[in-house]
Every structure is written in structure tokens, then in C-alpha cells.
């Protein structure tokens, strides 16, 4: 614990513990500043009560406690945030007057919040879910919120569908479960009736929705936005965040187990990384294009279920975000931060993407409910920092910044108060708007399968298998066979082999007919490597965690070498011992662990080393947590280093061991050579050799 001070205590009459004023003399007071004499006993009549209504200290304390909660976000409730900066690496003043992009080297402070979408505030981090990726830039010209996701497309094309989508995926209303899961009837029922979701569903079933870390996922603005110049020129822009540590995901079986072993895995990972000075970074890149490109592109740039392949419009880096400070207080910062898509600054404009227009209404509205009044913009986490906030808004809940004096209107003849400024002020993109009032979806939004197919075909074989397995898992949780069949009908429009694999995995004997399509799906779109995680292989072990299991009698020098090599590689080491009081090294010293074996599951680490004693360690393989530690590491394709632990490993009965993912550290490889191998993240060969249903005569998987 940080700054732990041994409390000075005394016992009260009833034996209860009282703690006297802390060493820095801070005294406990009520909200009125009155010093509290006794924080352990309420005011009673006699020794045993009843408690007196007169006890205003008790009543105030309980009253405040009773009102501590605010409504959680209706979506994206589970999240974590951090402070940082954005540094412009390439000025683009020719494209936009947005303050952060005017000069190279310009720094803009920011706050980022990452989240899952579906689960409640207390749900586990590793749910299969889209991740929110929201950034508030405190620019010199006001706050700009880029509220994106880690997936570049979305489920729906029109905001009027959003409440239904969210109702369908959230816990079912009669039973209140399942929590933080799309694997249930109502979600897949809705999806089966919403073909425009098919592209997003491919992403959702891919490894993108089980990231290893927030630090290792991409972010996307999703919608087409506009860059605007001072003279009113405009280009279209799509925003992309690229993680400097590369992309990495966990396996589904790891995700399921991490949720139990450490439900705060992603929160803790971000917190630890920033605290230990490994500040995560993302490159902000843009795809910039004009109306001519928009007119020629095969899909509508206003359709949020479509992306523009990077191969077609290459990304241009314009800056780097670094997260370098954890929050001082989770509630005040992460919980009260109020992102709003309509928070833009001069130079950033909206396109006519209907989903974006809908969001521009929703976010302001939802903050009012969540934060309880219209003054939430004045909370320190939401207030502008690079420029003053000056207006005639007044009163409302919790107002603290009413303008002094008589004048709270504009224009006024008193010569006081803020005035509009047509030169510095925000000017919307002029464009023209024309058309009938009508509830209609444009025909240019009608193709729902072509980019879904492009995404699937752009994946490696391993990733395609994961998508099929995810679909089999999710649909296998549906109770209604009709829903499973309907989804397979859509999959047939995306890629036939995938549909057949999923149908086999679900035990569907007669393939359903393909779903009817508004326009025929295209099969001529070129694949795009940028859509695959594994086609952009990670080349570093930086930012990863090595778990070292110590058995009694281990060689401390090897542990030292591993720690030094990890430091060099920008990685960290966590030590696991059989018991919490540590493992004995070969010299008789005791090394305290970061985890005892029962709590230090191998799913929490990126690669594993076992340091055995000089003698026969095989007996420890009889201990279920030890065997499970190794079995999981092996089955999850982890790289495994070992030293003097052969008997233990043999008795763990790991099928196929040793393979190319095992490294003997007593001669074959040095610690740093082993860590260099770990940069490949997983021994994919071992994973592709794992048996599946087909090996046991089921289906055709
Ligand atoms: Fe959101 N979304 N959303 N969303 N969204 C919210 O606002 C909404 C959409 C996203 O860390 C809510 O403050 C509608 C797309 C993130 O605080 C709410 C529609 C994308 C966050 C809301 C969408 C997002 C939210 C709930 C369809 C990716 C968390 C709490 C028109 C580009 C921000 C809140 C944070 C949060 C509405 C679709 C991303 C209800 C109506 C598309 C990252 O206003």
C-alpha cells in the first residue's frame, strides 16, 4: 500500500478501535466543517440506545452515503481512463484549422477512456465485446471529443435502431441475465433480422473483441467527419488510432478464465503500465478524401457499417497520443467524464452520416441524466483547459460559476460580459441541404454482405477458425434453433465454407436457405491485410508480462538474468510461488512472490518460465493448480522456458511437448534469446495441432 502510516489508536469504552488525528494533523469534519469527536459510536440514549434523532453527525454521514451512486452509463458502463498528451507529428494546417494540428510538436492535453459496451459497471473486463475508445482533447479552442470504438464499423445504419439493438444485447428484461454477453437468444434474434449488422458481426466474432490489453488495440472514429479550413474548404476524414505496442488478443479460453482469475485484468494492466512508466502510445492517423472519391467509392461513405480499406486510402500519421498519468480519483475523473460527439472545435465538422447525427443528440441528453443537471461541463474533468469558458448560462443544479453583477445577457449596453466573435468562432460546414421529409434508407446503404466477406477472407486461417468457433459458441448458447438457422442463412451470403463450418459445429444437419439479399453480395473485393491482426505481426515483447513459476531450490541467477532481459525488452516479470510465503532458492534464501499459485493462473501472463530445483520436482505436478498452470500455458500456445524442471514438466503430461515453443534455459537459450522468441507472442504451430470436434468424429470442423 502507498504511504501506509502506522495508525495511533486507542480503545473506546466498548472496546472499539478509534484512530486519533493522522500525523499531518488532518481532522475529520462534517460537511459543514465541524470537527467530529467520535466516528465509531452514534449518539444513544443510555448505553444501548435507541439512537437519538438528534445525531446530526450520523444522519449527515448516512445521507451522503445513501446518495453516492449516480446512474451508470446506459452503454459503456464498464471502463477505465487515464490522462495524457497528444503531440502533433505532422502539421496539416492546409486541411484543417483544428488547434491540435496547426504546428508540428504542438502538445494538447487529453483524457482517454476505454470501455466495454454491454456489461454493467461491475462486469468483467474480458467479455467478448466491442471496446469504446473515447478521447477528450483539451484544445486551445475548446474541448474536442473523438468518441470511437476499437472496431471501424457499427451494427446499424440509423440511430432509431439503437435502443432496440442495446435492449436485445443487454440482459433479458424478465430474468436480468446474461450479464455482459451477446451469447443469448435476444441478441442473435435481433441480429438475424438486421442484415446490415453482418459486417460488424464478423468483427465482433473475431479476436478484436478479446484484446490482450487496451494498450494493444486499435481505435477508430468510425464515422466520416469533415476537416474544415478557415476559408470554408472541407475534406472528408476518418480517424484511426494505431497502438505502438502492436495488436494482440487473447484466446477465448483465456478470456473466460481471466474473467474469473482477474476481472479487472484490463484496468489493472493500464494502471500498472502507466504507474511503472511504460506509457502506452497510439499514432493518430487519418484517411483524407474528397467528394470525388466519395462519389466513386463502391460504398457510401456516410454508411457506418462500411469502412474504406487502408489499401485504397492510405493512412497518414498526424500525431501521437501518450497516456502518462493515472487518475487521482476514479469517480471524479473516469466516471464523471462526459464525452459528447457534438463537442467539436473550429476545423472539425460532421458529415451527414445519420448515425453520427443521432449520436450528437444522444450524448448530451444522456449526460444530463447521469450527472444530474446541466452544469456537468464545469466539473474539472469536463471543463476546457486550454481556453476560458465564458457565457451567460446561469443557475441549474450545482451551479458554482454564475457571473457576478447585474448583467447576464448579451447584447447589453453596459459593455460587460462575453461577446460572440465571427472570426474566431465555430462556423459549420456550409454545404447545401435539400430533399423531401421522408423515412427512407438510401439505396447506397443496401449491400450488407460484401464487406463482411472481404473482412472474413482477409483473415489468416487461424483467425478464420476463431471466428467460426466464436459463432459456434455464441449460437450454441441460443435456445431457439430457428435463430441459429437464420444466422447460418446470413453466413451463407458471406462465405459458404464458414457457414458450413458453423452449421457443422452446431450440429445443423440440413443447411437452411441463404437469407434474401437486397442486392447481390460481391465476391470481387480484394482482401485487405490491414483487417487482420496476425498479418501485422507483433515484433516485440515490450509491454508484455513474463510469469516465472519458482519451485523450491530454483537458481536465483537465472531469475536475475530473466529480470534483466525483461527490463531490456521493456517487459515486466511477475513471480509465482507455490505458496504466498515464497519459494526457497538454491542458496536457501526465500523469494516472496507476486502471486501464490492458486491465484496466479498462467492466463494472466504472456509467456511462462518454470525454474525447478536441482532435485526431482515431479511430485508438484500432482498439485492441481500447478498442473493446471502448465496445462493452460501449453494449451494456450504460450512460449515456455524451463530450467531444471524436466521431471515436473514430464509429469504434467503435456501432449506434444517439447515443441518449437519450449526453450531450455540451461544452455540452449539465454534469457534474452528466450525473450526475443517470445516476441512472436504465441506458438501458433502448437495451437493448430490441437485436436477439435472433427478429430472425434463430430461435424466437419
Ligand atoms: Fe455510443 N453512446 N451511441 N457509440 N458510445 C454512449 O453516452 C449512442 C456509437 C461510444 O467512455 C452513451 O456517455 C447512440 C458508435 C463510446 O464515456 C450514449 C448510438 C460508437 C461511448 C450513446 C451510438 C459509439 C459511448 C452512453 C447510435 C463508435 C462511451 C453513455 C446512433 C463510434 C464514452 C454516454 C465514455 C457512449 C449513444 C453508437 C461509441 C447513450 C444513440 C457508432 C466509446 O449517449
For 14-23, 119-128, 326-335, 631-640, which range has the lowest pLDDT when averaged over its residues? 14-23
* pLDDT at position 19: 77
Q: How confident is the model at residue 539 (pLDDT cuts 50, 70, 90)?
A: confident
Tell whether ligand 1 has an atom less than 6 A from the beta carbon of residue 130. no
Which residue in the list 76, 83, 240, 636 is annotated as catalytic?
A: 76
Contact (CB, 8 A) for 321 and 279: no
Closest residue to atom 44 of ligand 1, CA basis: 363
Compute the CA torsion angle 30, 34, 38, 44 (nearest 10 deg).
-80
* pLDDT at position 668: 81
* pLDDT at position 701: 45
Residue 76 known to be catalytic:
yes
Q: How confident is the model at residue 154 (pLDDT cuts 50, 70, 90)?
A: very high
**Residue 306 predicted with pLDDT over 70:** yes
Tell whether ligand 1 has an atom less than 6 A from the beta carbon of residue 115. yes
Distances (CA, A) of 52 to 41, 61, 165: 12, 15, 51
Cell for 568?
Answer: 531490456
Q: What is the number of domains present in the chain?
A: 2
Between the CA of 306 and the centroid of ligand 1 the distance, in Å, is 18
Number of the ligand 1 atom closest to the C-alpha atom of 356: 31
Closest residue to atom 16 of ligand 1, CA basis: 132
Summarize pLDDT for 382-401 with one digit per residue, the tens: 999 989 999 999 999 999 99
Instruction: Decide if 17 is inside a domain.
Output: no
| Mean pLDDT for the stretch of residues 268-281 | 98
**Residue 287 predicted with pLDDT over 70:** yes
- pTM for the structure as a whole: 0.96
CATH, residue 222: 2.40.180.10
Q: How confident is the model at residue 20 (pLDDT cuts 50, 70, 90)?
A: confident
Range of the domain at 348: 43-152+210-378
Instruction: Decide if 513 is inside a domain.
Output: no
Say what percent of the chain tops pLDDT 90. 91
**All residues at 6 or more sequence positions from 71 whose CB lies less than 8 Å from its CB, including other chains:** 369, 370
Task: Please give the DSSP secondary-structure letter assigned to residue 525.
Answer: P
Closest residue to atom 29 of ligand 1, CA basis: 76
**End position of a domain, from candidates 333, 352, 378:** 378
Q: How many CB atoms lie within 10 A of CB 546?
A: 26
**Residue 675: CA count within 13 A, CB half-sphere:** 25
Tell whether ligand 1 has an atom less than 6 A from the beta carbon of residue 152. no
Number of the ligand 1 atom closest to the C-alpha atom of 74: 26
Between the CA of 233 and the centroid of ligand 1 the distance, in Å, is 29
Instruction: Decide if 108 is inside a domain.
Output: yes
Summarize pLDDT for 435-487 with one digit per residue, the tens: 999 999 999 999 999 999 999 999 999 999 999 999 999 999 999 999 999 99
* pLDDT at position 568: 96
CATH, residue 675: 3.40.50.880
**Residue 157 predicted with pLDDT over 50:** yes
| Mean pLDDT for the stretch of residues 327-345 | 98
* pLDDT at position 434: 92
* pLDDT at position 10: 81
**End position of a domain, from candidates 378, 404, 420:** 378
Instruction: Decide if 560 is inside a domain.
Output: yes
**Residue 700 predicted with pLDDT over 80:** no
* pLDDT at position 16: 80
Burial class of residue 262 (count of CB atoms within 10 Å of its CB; 0-12, 13-18, 19+): buried
**End position of a domain, from candidates 378, 404, 435:** 378
Residue 41 known to be catalytic:
no
Number of the ligand 1 atom closest to the C-alpha atom of 115: 11
Return mean pLDDT, the chain: 95
Between the CA of 275 and the centroid of ligand 1 the distance, in Å, is 29
- Tell me the sheet residues that pair with 81: 113
* pLDDT at position 639: 97
Which residue in the list 83, 143, 149, 223 is annotated as catalytic?
A: 149
Tell whether ligand 1 has an atom less than 6 A from the beta carbon of residue 160. no
**Residue 91 predicted with pLDDT over 60:** yes
Tell whether ligand 1 has an atom less than 6 A from the beta carbon of residue 131. no
Instruction: Decide if 691 is inside a domain.
Output: no
Summarize pLDDT for 489-522 with one digit per residue, the tens: 999 999 999 999 999 999 999 999 999 999 999 9
Between the CA of 225 and the centroid of ligand 1 the distance, in Å, is 16
The DSSP-derived string for 575-613 is: EEESSTT-EEBTTS-EE--SEETTT--GGG-SEEEEE--
**All residues at 6 or more sequence positions from 382 whose CB lies less than 8 Å from its CB, including other chains:** 136, 143, 336, 337, 338, 376
Cell 457457414 sits at which residue?
Answer: 499
* pLDDT at position 3: 63
Tell whether ligand 1 has an atom less than 6 A from the beta carbon of residue 453. no
Tell whether ligand 1 has an atom less than 6 A from the beta carbon of residue 473. no
Contact (CB, 8 A) for 605 and 547: yes
Summarize pLDDT for 233-248 with one digit per residue, the tens: 999 999 999 999 999 9
Instruction: Decide if 331 is inside a domain.
Output: yes
* pLDDT at position 688: 82
Tell whether ligand 1 has an atom less than 6 A from the beta carbon of residue 368. no
Summarize pLDDT for 162-198 with one digit per residue, the tens: 999 999 999 999 999 999 999 999 999 999 999 999 9
The DSSP-derived string for 417-447 is: S----TTTS-----------------GGG--
Tell whether ligand 1 has an atom less than 6 A from the beta carbon of residue 75. yes
Instruction: Decide if 356 is inside a domain.
Output: yes
| Residue of 116, 119, 147 with the most ligand 1 atoms within 8 Å of its CB, for mutation | 147
* pLDDT at position 214: 98
* pLDDT at position 25: 82
Cell 440511430 sits at which residue?
Answer: 159
Instruction: Decide if 520 is inside a domain.
Output: no
Q: How many CB atoms lie within 10 A of CB 2?
A: 3
**Residue 1 predicted with pLDDT over 60:** no
Amino acid at each position: 500500500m502507498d504511504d501506509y502510516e502506522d495508525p495511533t489508536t486507542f480503545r473506546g469504552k466498548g472496546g472499539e478501535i478509534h484512530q486519533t488525528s493522522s500525523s499531518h494533523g488532518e481532522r475529520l469534519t462534517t460537511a459543514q466543517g465541524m470537527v467530529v469527536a467520535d466516528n465509531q459510536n452514534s449518539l444513544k440514549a443510555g448505553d444501548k440506545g435507541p439512537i437519538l434523532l438528534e445525531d446530526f453527525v450520523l444522519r449527515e454521514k448516512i445521507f451522503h452515503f445513501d446518495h453516492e451512486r449516480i446512474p451508470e452509463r446506459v452503454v459503456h458502463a464498464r471502463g477505465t481512463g487515464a490522462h495524457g498528451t497528444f503531440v502533433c507529428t505532422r502539421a496539416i494546417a492546409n486541411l484543417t484549422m483544428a488547434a491540435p494540428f496547426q504546428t508540428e510538436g504542438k502538445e494538447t492535453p487529453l483524457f482517454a477512456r476505454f470501455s466495454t459496451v454491454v456489461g454493467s459497471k461491475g462486469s468483467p473486463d474480458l467479455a467478448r465485446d466491442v471496446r469504446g475508445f473515447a478521447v477528450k482533447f483539451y484544445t486551445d479552442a475548446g474541448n474536442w471529443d473523438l468518441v470511437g470504438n476499437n472496431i471501424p464499423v457499427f451494427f446499424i445504419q440509423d440511430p432509431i435502431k439503437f435502443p432496440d439493438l442495446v435492449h436485445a444485447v443487454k440482459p433479458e428484461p424478465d430474468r436480468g441475465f446474461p450479464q455482459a454477453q451477446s451469447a443469448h437468444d435476444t441478441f442473435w434474434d435481433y441480429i438475424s433480422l438486421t442484415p446490415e449488422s453482418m459486417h460488424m458481426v464478423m468483427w465482433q466474432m473475431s479476436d478484436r473483441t478479446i484484446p490482450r490489453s487496451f494498450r494493444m488495440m486499435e481505435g477508430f472514429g468510425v464515422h466520416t467527419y469533415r476537416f474544415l479550413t478557415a476559408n470554408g474548404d472541407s475534406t472528408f476524414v476518418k480517424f484511426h488510432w494505431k497502438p505502438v505496442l502492436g495488436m494482440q488478443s487473447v484466446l477465448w479460453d483465456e478470456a473466460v478464465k481471466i474473467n474469473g482469475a482477474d476481472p479487472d485484468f484490463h484496468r489493472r494492466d493500464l494502471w500498472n503500465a502507466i504507474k511503472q512508466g511504460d506509457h502506452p502510445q497510439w499514432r493518430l492517423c487519418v484517411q483524407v478524401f474528397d467528394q470525388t472519391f466519395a462519389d466513386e467509392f463502391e460504398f457510401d461513405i456516410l454508411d457506418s457499417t462500411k469502412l474504406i480499406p487502408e489499401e485504397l486510402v492510405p493512412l497518414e500519421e498526424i500525431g501521437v497520443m501518450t497516456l502518462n498519468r493515472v487518475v487521482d480519483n476514479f469517480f471524479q475523473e473516469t466516471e464523471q467524464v462526459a464525452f459528447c460527439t457534438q463537442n467539436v472545435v473550429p476545423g472539425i465538422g460532421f458529415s451527414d452520416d445519420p448515425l453520427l447525427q443521432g449520436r450528437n443528440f444522444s450524448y448530451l441528453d444522456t449526460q444530463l441524466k447521469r450527472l444530474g443537471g446541466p452544469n456537468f461541463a464545469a466539473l474539472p474533468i469536463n471543463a476546457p483547459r486550454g481556453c476560458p469558458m465564458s457565457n451567460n448560462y446561469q443557475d441549474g443544479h450545482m451551479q458554482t460559476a454564475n457571473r457576478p453583477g447585474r448583467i447576464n445577457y448579451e447584447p447589453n449596453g453596459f459593455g460587460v460580459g462575453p461577446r460572440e466573435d465571427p472570426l474566431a468562432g465555430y462556423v459549420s460546414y456550409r454545404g447545401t441541404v435539400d430533399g423531401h421529409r421522408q423515412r427512407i434508407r438510401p439505396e447506397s446503404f443496401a449491400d450488407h454482405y460484401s464487406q463482411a466477406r472481404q473482412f472474413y477472407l482477409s483473415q489468416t486461417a487461424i483467425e478464420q477458425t476463431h471466428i467460426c468457433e466464436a459463432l459456434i459458441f455464441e449460437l450454441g448458447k441460443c435456445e431457439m434453433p430457428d435463430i441459429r438457422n437464420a444466422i447460418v442463412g446470413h453466413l451463407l451470403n458471406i462465405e459458404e465454407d464458414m457457414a458450413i463450418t458453423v452449421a457443422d459445429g452446431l450440429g445443423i444437419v440440413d443447411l437452411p436457405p441463404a437469407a434474401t439479399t437486397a442486392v447481390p453480395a460481391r465476391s470481387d473485393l480484394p482482401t485487405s491485410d490491414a483487417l487482420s491482426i496476425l498479418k501485422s505481426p507483433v515484433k516485440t515483447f515490450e509491454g508484455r508480462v513474463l510469469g516465472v513459476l519458482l519451485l523450491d531450490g530454483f537458481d536465483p541467477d537465472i531469475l536475475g538474468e530473466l529480470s534483466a532481459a525483461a527490463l531490456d525488452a521493456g517487459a515486466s516479470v511477475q513471480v509465482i510461488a507455490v505458496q504466498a510465503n515464497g519459494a526457497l532458492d538454491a542458496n536457501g534464501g526465500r523469494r516472496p512472490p507476486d502471486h501464490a499459485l492458486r491465484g496466479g493462473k498462467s492466463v494472466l501472463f504472456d509467456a511462462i518460465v518454470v525454474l525447478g530445483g536441482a532435485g526431482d520436482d515431479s511430485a508438484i505436478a500432482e498439485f492441481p493448480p500447478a498442473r493446471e498452470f502448465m496445462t493452460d500455458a501449453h494449451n494456450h500456445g504460450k512460449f515456455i522456458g524451463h530450467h531444471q524442471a524436466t521431471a515436473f514438466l514430464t509429469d504434467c503430461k503435456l501432449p506434444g511437448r517439447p515443441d518449437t515453443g519450449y526453450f531450455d534455459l540451461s544452455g540452449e537459450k539465454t534469457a534474452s534469446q528466450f525473450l526475443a522468441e517470445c516476441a512472436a507472442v504465441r506458438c501458433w504451430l502448437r495451437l493448430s495441432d490441437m485436436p477439435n470436434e472433427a478429430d472425434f468424429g463430430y461435424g466437419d470442423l
